[in-house]
């Protein structure tokens, strides 16, 4: 059997691993297995390539990242166990591998000094992927042959025997089965972005369109001059890091543990903002051990079923249940922090059993300033209607430093940090609710995808707390200025001009505009040539949901939900082509998370299931596909 895998990032390598595993332990086929991986960036793919800046770090703790399966995973092949990223990085084997393969002394040192809850350079995860792949090949059975083509796939079609044909600039290749393991990809610019790009070209300005920060050319960003950055999420943190640490600046620690930034003189003056006007919350220090996750006390299967009407859970009730879980953790830890004469376990019993939550809070003596206020958590400055930019820096610094302090307490100790971390632990619950079609289509599209998904990202997809500490230092030093909520950008008089007109009259201009956001997977505007070719040939379509009398496009590529086989424009299953990864975002929940050990990770489940399907073997039951 000939299998083509498009994409050699973590997902492509996981599928390769599980094809090996399934073939060795389950297959009774006598036919040899040939696997060809396609990726222009080689093993590791685009996001984790090993030639990017050492300063760019991961967003998940090193001990919570793996490419190996474990006994928690629902799978039909045998467990292929091995070290997490942290365990590998600290090993003699990693030290030898990095030294023998030309990695910098800084990366070798970073691996040796990596802490269990530390955040590894992205280059180091790329090295881990390459080591994993090399180790896999060293155990390759004689009946299997594996090769890599560093080429961009430009077309996927079928031959006369309806076998999938992959085309690159270097040739055409026919397979029995194809698995598309697609990750980060670019989109065509929207109307606003296109106008800004054309304006930049006309006025000799520098416009950095949405892309992965590791791919952006920042050499044209001038030192000492204003640079506008639109977006305050993870990409913003990456760009700020490259324009400060990456230009020779460094941090020193003050006596109180805060940081002080020492500039190199080569930094620009960064003017940054967004609609929300607030940087993402810092990621709390991880305190959870191997396989440790919190389970809902309110958002349970029983409560979901009990509160559903005609099989659908009203979104308001969903939020009541979800927020009750967050409140419970928040208040229990606040008791530990500030109410030593109260018992947190007794509080939990009362909070779960008594529907009058306000009465319980009053019973345990909570003060007004300790209330869990969801509206202010997701919009801390909702009451700030007019504020000058200079004054806003003080507001932001005070808020950021408060969240840093809470996050430093840890994911099981900081009251709000631990409550926020539940949103990560509850991902399997959200995934199952989506699979079970618990929401009406309108609630799912407009409220879950249209609003809550962004809020959750704001709360739990922020940078490691060290990056938030650095951002606080940069704001205090004047290197970074954060605009008030409601940032707008336009071209005017030969400049890029930005302001937050609903909050103040301050305006800033620059010759450089950086769009600090990674393009969101969207089949309608994708610039990925293979997806474009499939759409043009009527071999792929977007997933749509019926709302009223309209079919609403959620931009995910449509697949058979139980097998991940691609559907063509007419909804017909293409039995020999499979797709998983970020292109399914919206149809699936959180498709870009790195595999995590000990938690029955969906990436690991899906890789095993796809491998079994490709080889025509029995698959595991109850697989939560990624």
CATH code assigned at 57: 3.50.50.60
Strands 177-182 and 250-253: what pairing?
unpaired
Q: What pLDDT, on the 0 to 100 scale, is given for residue 28?
A: 76
Cα–Cα distance, 130 to 368 (Å, whole number): 53
CA distance linking residue 381 with residue 383, whole number of Å: 5
The CA distance from 257 to 626, in Å, is 40
Q: Are residues 366 and 401 in the same domain?
A: yes
User: Number of structural domains, the chain?
Assistant: 3
- Domain range enclosing 180: 2-81+130-186+521-614
* Whether residue 385 sits in one domain with residue 362: yes
* Residue 18 within a domain: yes
Give Cα 118 distance to the centre of its chain: 17
CATH number, domain of 509, equals: 3.50.50
- Residue 471: is its pLDDT beyond 80? yes
Q: Is residue 296 situated within a structural domain?
A: no
pLDDT tens per residue across span 156-213: 999 999 999 999 999 999 999 999 999 888 999 999 999 999 999 999 999 999 999 9
Judge whether 443 lies within some domain.
Answer: yes
CA distance 580 to 506: 46
In this model, does residue 624 exceed pLDDT 90? Answer: no
532 and 395 in a single domain? The answer is: no
My answer on whether 223 and 343 are in the same domain is no
Task: Confirm whether 250 is domain-assigned.
Answer: no
Please, are residues 275 and 488 in contact by the beta-carbon 8 Å criterion? no
| 376 in Cβ contact with 382 (< 8 Å) | yes
CA dihedral 291, 460, 455, 240 (to 10 degrees): -150
Instruction: Clarify whether residues 30 and 167 are in a common domain.
Output: yes
Q: Does residue 472 fall inside a structural domain?
A: no
Residue with tokens 């206020």: 373
For residue 483, give both structure tokens. 């605009």
151 and 224 part of one domain: no
Tell me whether residue 275 is in a domain: yes
For residue 26, what pLDDT is reported? 78
Do 134 and 234 have their domain in common?
no
Same domain, 383 and 321: yes
Task: Quote the CA–CA distance of 201 and 191 in Å, as a whole number.
Answer: 15
Residue 52 lies in a domain: yes
Together in a domain, 12 and 51: yes
| pTM for the whole structure | 0.96
Spatial CB neighbours of 129, under 8 Å, sequence gap ≥ 6: 9, 10, 13, 43, 44, 45, 48, 67
Tell whether the model's pLDDT for residue 469 goes beyond 80.
yes
| pLDDT (tens digit per residue) in 13-25 | 999 999 999 999 8
Residue 108 pLDDT more than 70?
Answer: yes
What percentage of residues in the chain have a pLDDT greater than 90? 96
**Phi-psi sector, 131: left (phi>0), alpha (psi -120 to 50), beta:** alpha
Within this chain, do residues 363 and 494 fall inside the same structural domain, yes or no? no
What's residue 366's pLDDT?
96
C-alpha radius of gyration, the chain, whole number: 25
Together in a domain, 501 and 579: no
Distances (CA, A) of 54 to 85, 241, 312: 16, 11, 47
Alpha-carbon gap, residue 444 to 586, rounded angstroms = 10
Residue 123 resides in a domain: no
Q: Among 469, 499, 515, identify where a domain stops.
A: 515
Q: Which residues contact 610 (CB under 8 A, 6 or more apart)?
A: 15, 18, 179, 564, 578, 580
CB 547 within 8 A of CB 442: yes
* Alpha carbons 451 and 340: distance in angstroms, whole number: 38
Owner of token pair 């990726």: 39
**Last-in-domain residue among 491, 515, 539:** 515
Same domain, 209 and 64: no
């Amino acid at each position: 059997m000939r299998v083509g895998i498009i994409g050699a990032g973590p997902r492509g390598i996981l599928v390769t691993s599980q094809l090996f595993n399934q073939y060795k332990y389950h297959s009774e086929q006598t036919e040899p297995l040939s696997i060809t991986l396609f990726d222009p960036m080689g093993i590791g793919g685009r996001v984790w390539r090993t030639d990017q800046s050492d300063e760019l770090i991961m967003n998940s703790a090193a001990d919570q990242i793996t490419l190996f399966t474990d006994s928690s995973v629902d799978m039909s092949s045998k467990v292929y166990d091995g070290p997490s990223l942290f365990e590998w990085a600290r090993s003699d084997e990693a030290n030898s591998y990095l030294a023998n393969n030309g990695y910098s002394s800084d990366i070798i040192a970073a691996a040796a000094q990596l802490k269990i809850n530390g955040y590894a350079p992205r280059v180091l995860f790329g090295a881990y992927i390459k080591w994993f792949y090399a180790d896999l090949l060293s155990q390759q059975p004689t009946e299997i042959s594996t090769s890599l083509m560093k080429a961009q796939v430009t077309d996927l079609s079928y031959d006369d025997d309806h076998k999938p044909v992959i085309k690159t600039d270097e040739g055409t290749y026919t397979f029995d089965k194809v698995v598309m393991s697609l990750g980060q990809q670019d989109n065509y610019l929207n109307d606003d972005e296109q106008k800004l790009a054309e304006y930049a070209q006309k006025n000799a300005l520098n416009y950095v369109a949405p892309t992965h920060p590791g791919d952006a050319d920042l050499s044209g960003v001038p030192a000492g001059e204003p640079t506008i950055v639109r977006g305050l999420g993870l990409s913003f943190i990456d760009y700020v890091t490259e324009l400060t640490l990456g230009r020779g600046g460094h941090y020193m620690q003050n006596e109180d543990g805060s940081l002080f930034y020492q500039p190199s003189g080569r930094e620009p003056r960064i003017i940054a903002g967004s609609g929300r006007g607030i940087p993402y919350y810092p990621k709390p220090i991880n305190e959870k051990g191997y396989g440790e996750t919190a389970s809902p006390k309110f958002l349970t299967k029983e409560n979901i079923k009990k509160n559903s009407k005609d099989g659908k859970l009203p979104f308001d009730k969903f939020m009541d249940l979800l927020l009750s879980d967050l409140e419970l953790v928040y208040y229990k830890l606040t008791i530990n922090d500030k109410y030593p004469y109260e018992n947190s376990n007794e509080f939990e019993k009362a909070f779960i059993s008594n529907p009058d939550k306000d009465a319980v809070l009053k019973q345990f003596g909570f003060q007004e300033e300790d209330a869990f206020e969801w509206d202010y958590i997701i919009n801390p400055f909702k009451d700030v209607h007019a504020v000058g930019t200079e004054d806003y820096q003080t507001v932001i610094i005070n808020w950021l430093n408060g969240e840093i302090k809470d996050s430093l307490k840890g994911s099981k100790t900081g009251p709000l940090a631990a409550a926020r971390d539940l949103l990560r632990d509850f991902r399997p619950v959200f995934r199952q609710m989506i699979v079970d079609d618990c929401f009406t289509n309108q609630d799912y599209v407009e409220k879950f995808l249209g609003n809550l998904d962004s809020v959750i990202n704001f709360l739990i997809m922020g940078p490691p707390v060290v990056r938030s500490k650095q951002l606080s230092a940069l704001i205090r030093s004047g290197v970074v200025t954060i605009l008030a909520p409601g940032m707008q950008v336009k071209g005017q008089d030969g400049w890029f001009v930005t302001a937050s007109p609903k909050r103040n009259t301050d305006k800033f201009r620059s010759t450089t505009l950086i769009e600090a956001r990674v393009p969101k997977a969207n089949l309608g505007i994708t610039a990925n040539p293979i997806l474009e070719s499939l759409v043009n040939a009527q071999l792929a379509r977007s997933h749509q949901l019926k709302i009223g009398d309209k079919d609403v496009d959620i931009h995910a590529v449509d697949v058979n939900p139980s097998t991940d086989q691609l559907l063509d424009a007419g909804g017909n299953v293409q039995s020999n082509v499979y797709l998983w990864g970020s292109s399914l975002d919206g149809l699936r929940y959180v498709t870009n998370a790195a595999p995590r050990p000990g938690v029955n990770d969906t990436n690991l489940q899906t890789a095993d299931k796809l491998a079994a399907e490709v080889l025509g073997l029995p698959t595991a039951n109850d697989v939560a596909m990624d």
